[in-house]
């Protein structure tokens, strides 16, 4: 004990007071860097010096290991592990069942109130001792509680009077990897896939465990390993052995593994003449395949399916419905407790209906016809992960089908991994949108957490932005989006500001002023991107194919993949008329929202051109004409990035050198690209508006032909 105090004092005296140098970002928000605040260190030493551990499951082992590693890293203390409840400990972490002492110290926690994943963290007095307790009814809850305590320490939050009770609001909190078996990642901008199928199952990269730790620390409890544009080969034994090896690493961190199921697999790898979901042989094939999968992975989570969407096979190829397809797979999985996440991202160029309306039209009639273990996974907006979209009208409309939210963490349409765009405000905006499905207060998050219609199954998925880059996400601030997704999946009502604060303190700095500056930048960054890419409700005007950079002129090929389909600019004005006189898209929303959106004077201006085609001289609330407002928004977006770049330069020496320099260079790229977006879009739209740029808008650097002529051959992500 004495030796520990001496070491501790030495560490305090020798602790560096300058920021660490050369952080390559690998450790994410789990840096566990040495705390330099001496008063806080004293508090840690008083309260967290010895941990009572009890129970030896792999999940509890992972929890204890993390607790000790984290505390030792942050405080420099050597943590005592005490194995007997009667010993001299200050922290206890365990389940109420396996550690009766915990139950006796927490008499108000009644059985069933926390569940497998919920936990309490509480400071209690026992005689003269002040104890910190982490307790759950399940091992995973203990793990989450441990990560919560580590977060508090990492943020240097007070530790003396803790009274925390947390339970996840959503049951399935999943990452969706769009990773291919060849190691590429569709719409991935941070290197190659994390999964090395060539070496699996024999070589287990240490990254797999660190990936699991990072996810567990933010409450993510499932991962879909493969691309929605699926490859049936992953269902063959050679790959299933690899899936099993990954699942073994994930399991102690409470993470289940899922796969995408290619609907034509029975014909492709099973040798059957058909993949018709009502064919007896096909039904048997899937049943056997699922049984085989569970012999490899006993806790396999289930299938994510993209069917009859963008050329993928599906039940409609055989004249069957989405429900026929989903239910057939669900029946095969049901005996093992697996689920089907059936994607609603369907649209057909041959259907002469506004693309934004097609998924609603397709799925609403099938509400109530899915098996209990099927969820409909719906993108946040009705088109495709644009910088801003209204929420998808299926949220609230499907009363008898559990709806799973799909966000895109990888920034396919928001500057790839090059732009600093914090997505929490986007997640928050969508989750808090009121659907009015059961009157005011029927927010999207209440659909997702099941409280609106009393759904038993609840879920939220994020298309991952992780890859083989050393810092996992390409841009350092991409880590914040992974972090935000997990935290908001656990608690959809969490604010973007809270999430930003946590991430900044855990990743970058504890200096208040620096923190406030970075937070301000993060919280405004999504709006900045909307402004320099698609202001006032514009959407889908990016370059075709790779989607990098502007392409408002794209007018060739499949119409619903062009830009002109969406912006509809002409000499009369701009915007997509989705009013009752137009495509009638507004009518898919509940009353009174339909009416609010239908009228340009009540429609939120940030969605104006999503719902309305308006004349160039339409007068905006600011008093500007629509044309002037559009130009000024583009300029505002580019100016915001210039401000971020200047602000960042003030941080030299305030944060880690490597982090500083990485972001500094990225912001220079982002600023150039923001100007590129502004110039290209404004020059193009000017060919219709025939109006000059208003005062305050910087003249474009090149002419329109220059921007139209830019060609890029090797953009990442395709």
Residues contributing to the site for ligand BDP (CB under 6 A): 186-187, 228-229, 306, 310, 345, 384-385, 412
In the complex, the smallest distance separating the C-beta of residue 227 from ligand BDP, rounded to whole angstroms, is 8
In the complex, the smallest distance separating the C-beta of residue 379 from ligand BDP, rounded to whole angstroms, is 7
Question: Which C-beta is closer to ligand BDP: that of 389 or that of 527?
Answer: 389
**Side-chain-side CA neighbours of residue 497 (13 Å):** 3
Does 412 participate in catalysis according to the annotation?
A: yes
Interacting residues of 528 by C-beta distance below 8 A, sequence separation 6+: 421, 636, 637, 640, 641, 644, 674
- CA 687 to chain CA centroid, Å, is 38
Q: Which of 248, 279, 310, 331 is catalytic?
A: 310
In sequence order, what are the beta bridge partners of 222? 174, 256
Phi and psi angles of residue 596, each rounded to the nearest 5 degrees, phi first: -60, -45
Residues of 534-556 as b/e, b for ≥16 C-beta within 10 angstroms?
bbbbbbbbbbeebbbbbbbbbee
Yes or no: say if 83 and 43 are a contact pair by the CB < 8 Å rule.
Answer: no
Q: State the Cα angle at 175 between 172 and 180, rounded to 5°.
A: 135
- CA 490 to chain CA centroid, Å, is 11
Does 310 participate in catalysis according to the annotation?
A: yes
Interacting residues of 181 by C-beta distance below 8 A, sequence separation 6+: 197, 226, 231, 233, 234, 239
In the complex, the smallest distance separating the C-beta of residue 229 from ligand BDP, rounded to whole angstroms, is 5
The helix/strand/coil state of 524 is helix
In the complex, the smallest distance separating the C-beta of residue 716 from ligand BDP, rounded to whole angstroms, is 13
In the complex, the smallest distance separating the C-beta of residue 411 from ligand BDP, rounded to whole angstroms, is 11
- Mind spelling out the 3-state secondary structure of 394-426? CCCCCCCCCEEEEEECCCCCCCCCCCCCCCHHH
Q: Which of 384, 406, 443, 502 is catalytic?
A: 384
Residues of 213-244 as b/e, b for ≥16 C-beta within 10 angstroms?
bbbbbbbbbbbbbbbbebbbebbeeebbebbb
Tell me, what DSSP letter sits at residue 270?
T
Question: Which C-beta is closer to ligand BDP: that of 304 or that of 499?
Answer: 304
**How far is the C-alpha of 588 from the C-alpha of 360, rounded, in Å?**
8
Question: Which C-beta is closer to ligand BDP: that of 357 or that of 437?
Answer: 357
Question: Which C-beta is closer to ligand BDP: that of 384 or that of 560?
Answer: 384
In the complex, the smallest distance separating the C-beta of residue 718 from ligand BDP, rounded to whole angstroms, is 8
Q: For residue 140, which of 119, 154, 123, 162 has the smallest C-alpha distance? A: 119
Q: For residue 315, which of 355, 278, 358, 269 has the smallest C-alpha distance? A: 278
Yes or no: say if 530 and 540 are a contact pair by the CB < 8 Å rule.
Answer: no
The helix/strand/coil state of 189 is coil
The residue with its CB nearest to ligand BDP is 384
In the complex, the smallest distance separating the C-beta of residue 341 from ligand BDP, rounded to whole angstroms, is 13
Largest CA distance in the chain: 82
In the complex, the smallest distance separating the C-beta of residue 319 from ligand BDP, rounded to whole angstroms, is 23
Q: Which of 137, 139, 406, 412 is catalytic?
A: 412
Yes or no: say if 491 and 173 are a contact pair by the CB < 8 Å rule.
Answer: no
**How far is the C-alpha of 668 from the C-alpha of 494, rounded, in Å?**
31
The helix/strand/coil state of 239 is helix
Interacting residues of 294 by C-beta distance below 8 A, sequence separation 6+: 300, 336, 338
In the complex, the smallest distance separating the C-beta of residue 135 from ligand BDP, rounded to whole angstroms, is 40
In the complex, the smallest distance separating the C-beta of residue 13 from ligand BDP, rounded to whole angstroms, is 55
Q: For residue 497, which of 471, 470, 515 has the smallest C-alpha distance? A: 515
- CA 651 to chain CA centroid, Å, is 28
In the complex, the smallest distance separating the C-beta of residue 138 from ligand BDP, rounded to whole angstroms, is 33
Does 117 participate in catalysis according to the annotation?
A: no
**How far is the C-alpha of 501 from the C-alpha of 507, rounded, in Å?**
10
Question: Which C-beta is closer to ligand BDP: that of 66 or that of 384?
Answer: 384
In the complex, the smallest distance separating the C-beta of residue 412 from ligand BDP, rounded to whole angstroms, is 6
Sheet with 50-53, side-by-side order of all strands = 80-82, 50-53, 91-95, 129-136, 119-126, 163-166
The dihedral of CA 394, 397, 399, 400: what is its sign?
negative
Question: Which C-beta is closer to ligand BDP: that of 384 or that of 656?
Answer: 384
Yes or no: say if 347 and 309 are a contact pair by the CB < 8 Å rule.
Answer: yes
Phi-psi region of 345 (alpha: psi -120 to 50; beta: other; left: phi over 0): beta
**Interstrand relation of 91-95 and 50-53 (parallel, antiparallel or unpaired):** parallel
Question: Which C-beta is closer to ligand BDP: that of 386 or that of 418?
Answer: 386
The set of catalytic residues is 310, 384, 412
């Amino acid at each position: 004990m004495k030796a520990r105090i001496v070491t501790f004092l030495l560490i305090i005296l020798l602790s560096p007071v300058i920021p660490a140098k050369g952080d390559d970002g690998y450790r994410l928000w789990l840096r566990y860097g040495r705390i330099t605040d001496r008063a806080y260190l004293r508090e840690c030493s008083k309260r967290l010096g010895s941990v009572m551990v009890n129970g030896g499951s792999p999940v509890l082992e992972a929890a204890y290991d993390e607790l000790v590693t984290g505390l030792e890293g942050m405080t420099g203390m050597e943590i005592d592990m005490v194995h007997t409840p009667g010993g001299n400990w200050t922290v206890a972490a365990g389940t109420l069942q396996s550690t009766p002492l915990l139950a006796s110290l927490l008499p108000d926690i009644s059985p069933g109130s926390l569940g497998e994943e919920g936990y309490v963290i509480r400071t209690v007095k026992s005689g003269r001792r002040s104890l910190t307790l982490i307790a759950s009814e399940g091992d995973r809850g203990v793990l989450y509680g441990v990560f919560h305590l580590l977060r508090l320490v990492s943020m240097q939050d007070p530790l003396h009077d803790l009274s925390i009770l947390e339970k996840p609001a959503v049951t399935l909190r999943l990452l969706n990897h769009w990773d291919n078996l060849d190691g590429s990642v569709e719409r991935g901008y941070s290197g190659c896939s994390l999964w090395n199928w060539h070496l699996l199952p024999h070589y287990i990269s240490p990254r797999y465990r660190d990936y699991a730790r990072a996810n567990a620390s933010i409450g993510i409890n499932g991962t879909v390993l493969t691309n929605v544009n699926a490859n049936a080969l992953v269902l063959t034994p050679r790959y299933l052995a690899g899936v099993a090896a990954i699942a073994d690493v994930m399991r102690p961190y409470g993470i289940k593994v899922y796969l995408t199921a290619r609907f034509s697999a029975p014909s492709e790898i099973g040798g059957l003449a058909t993949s018709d979901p009502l064919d007896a042989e096909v039904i048997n094939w899937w049943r056997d395949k699922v049984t085989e999968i569970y012999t490899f992975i006993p806790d396999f989570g289930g299938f994510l399916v993209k069917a009859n969407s963008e050329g993928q096979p599906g039940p409609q190829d055989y004249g069957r419905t989405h429900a026929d397809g989903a239910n057939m797979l669900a029946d095969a999985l049901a005996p093992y407790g697996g689920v089907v996440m059936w994607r609603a991202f369907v649209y057909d160029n041959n259907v002469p209906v506004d693309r934004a309306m097609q998924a609603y039209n397709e799925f609403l009639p099938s509400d109530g016809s899915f098996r209990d273990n099927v969820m409909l996974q719906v993108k946040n907006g009705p088109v495709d992960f644009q910088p801003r979209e209204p929420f998808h009208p299926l949220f609230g409309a499907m009363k008898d089908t559990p709806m799973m939210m799909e966000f895109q963490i990888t920034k396919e349409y928001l500057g790839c991994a090059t732009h600093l765009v914090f997505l929490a405000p986007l997640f928050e905006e969508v989750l808090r949108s009121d659907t009015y499905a059961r009157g005011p207060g029927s927010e999207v998050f209440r659909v997702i957490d099941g409280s609106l219609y009393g759904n038993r199954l609840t879920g939220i998925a994020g298309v991952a932005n992780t890859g083989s880059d050393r810092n996992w996400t390409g841009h350092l601030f991409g880590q914040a989006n992974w972090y935000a997704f997990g935290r908001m999946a656990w608690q959809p009502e969490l604010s973007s500001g809270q999430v930003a604060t946590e991430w900044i303190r855990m990743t970058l700095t504890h200096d208040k002023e620096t923190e406030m500056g970075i937070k301000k930048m993060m919280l405004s960054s999504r709006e900045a991107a909307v402004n320099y890419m698609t202001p006032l409700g514009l959407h889908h005007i990016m370059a075709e194919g790779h989607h990098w950079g502007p392409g408002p002129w794209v007018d060739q090929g499949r119409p619903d993949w062009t830009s002109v389909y969406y912006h509809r600019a002409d000499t009369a004005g701009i915007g997509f008329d989705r009013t009752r006189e137009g495509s009638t898209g507004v009518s898919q929303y509940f009353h009174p929202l339909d009416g609010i959106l239908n009228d340009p004077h009540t429609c939120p201006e940030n969605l104006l051109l999503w719902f309305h085609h308006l004349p160039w001289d339409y007068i905006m609330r600011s008093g500007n004409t629509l044309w002037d407002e559009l130009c000024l928004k583009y300029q505002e977006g580019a100016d915001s990035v210039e401000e971020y770049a200047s602000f960042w330069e003030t941080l030299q020496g305030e944060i880690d050198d490597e982090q500083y320099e990485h972001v500094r260079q990225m912001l220079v790229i982002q600023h150039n690209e923001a100007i590129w977006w502004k110039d290209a879009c404004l020059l193009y739209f000017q060919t219709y508006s025939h109006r000059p740029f208003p005062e305050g808008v910087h003249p474009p650097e090149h002419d329109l032909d220059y921007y139209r002529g830019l060609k890029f051959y090797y953009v990442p992500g395709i």
